[in-house]
Amino acid sequence: MQTAFTKLFLLIATVLFGVSCSTYTIKGNGILKQKEFLLPQEINELEIGNGWNVELIKGTENKLIVTTDKNILELFKYEFKEHSLNISTLKKQGLIKATKRNITIYYTGNIDDIDVSSGASLSSKDILNQRKLTLDISSGADIILELKTQYTSVEASSGANINLEGTIENLKAEASSGATIKGKKLETQTLDAEASSGGNIKIGKVHDKIKASASAGGNIKYGGNPKKTEIEKSISGNISKF
């Protein structure tokens, strides 16, 4: 019995030691550097992670400008293949504390698919005026965008926050696991919304049709007077007008 207990204790101690060793902090050295990366093609898909703060600017060429501490810049990583851009860091483990972690992306075409995760943030200097857009945000990430689209799909989870304004003809929105989709200044003709596990959705105006489902602490609020309503909520979910 004592031998079994000793083995269990050693196993737990080994696991805890491994966790403590894998968690480290990389601090910025305070020497800010800026570096430009040219891209050979336009960007259609964008994936951002590892806490980078990204701003989109419509331009005449496709490139990245990264501004951060010199030692953090050495960890910056991007991959570009077949119009798909992925932004991350060379070392995925550990905590990075930088003076700045800013990236400006200049792009020429339409970015149709955007994925933001792991504490990263995304904003745009311009209105995203395009036919369709898919947004996937998770793990404490933040997005602030103004849109003018025919169709937009938004999926937010794991404490992520997204703030949208503008006009969308058809909007599909899903929020779960404490995530929030804010659209107080957003108007849409049709809304298909689903909130669960503490997810929150708020849309400023719905004009034609709303289809909404809320469960497990999910909350959906909407404005306007849609002509058609299809509401489904459980005891623990809430759907209301404001």
Q: With the C-alpha atoms ordered 16, 18, 21, 23, is the resulting torsion angle positive or negative? A: negative
Give all domains of the chain, ordered by start, each with its CATH number. Answer: 27-111 (2.160.20.120), 127-241 (2.160.20.120)
Predicted pLDDT of residue 237: 97
pLDDT recorded at residue 98? 93
Cross-strand bridge partners of residue 115: 47, 136
Dump pLDDT digits (tens) for 68-84. Answer: 999 999 999 999 999 99
pLDDT digits (tens, 9 = 90+) for 189-202: 999 999 999 999 99
Q: How many residues does the chain have?
A: 242
Cβ-proximal residues to 152 (8 Å cutoff; 6+ apart), any chain:
132, 133, 134, 135, 164, 168, 170, 171, 172
Residue 178, token pair as written in the block: 């404490």
**How many whole angstroms separate alpha carbon 137 and alpha carbon 153?**
11
Residue 76: per-residue pLDDT: 96
Q: What local confidence, expressed as pLDDT, does residue 96 receive?
A: 85
The predicted pLDDT at position 92 comes to: 60
Are 169 and 177 in contact by the 8 Å Cβ rule? The answer is: no
All residue ranges of the chain with pLDDT < 50 are 1-2, 4-22
Cβ–Cβ < 8 Å for 191, 210: yes
What residues contact 82, with CB distance under 8 A and at least 6 apart?
none
Cα distance between residue 178 and residue 162, in whole Å? 12
pLDDT value for 25: 82
* Per-residue confidence (pLDDT) for residue 144, from 0 to 100: 99
The two tokens of residue 12 are: 């737990």
Output the pLDDT for position 19: 41
Would you say 79 and 99 are in contact if contact means Cβ atoms under 8 Å apart?
no
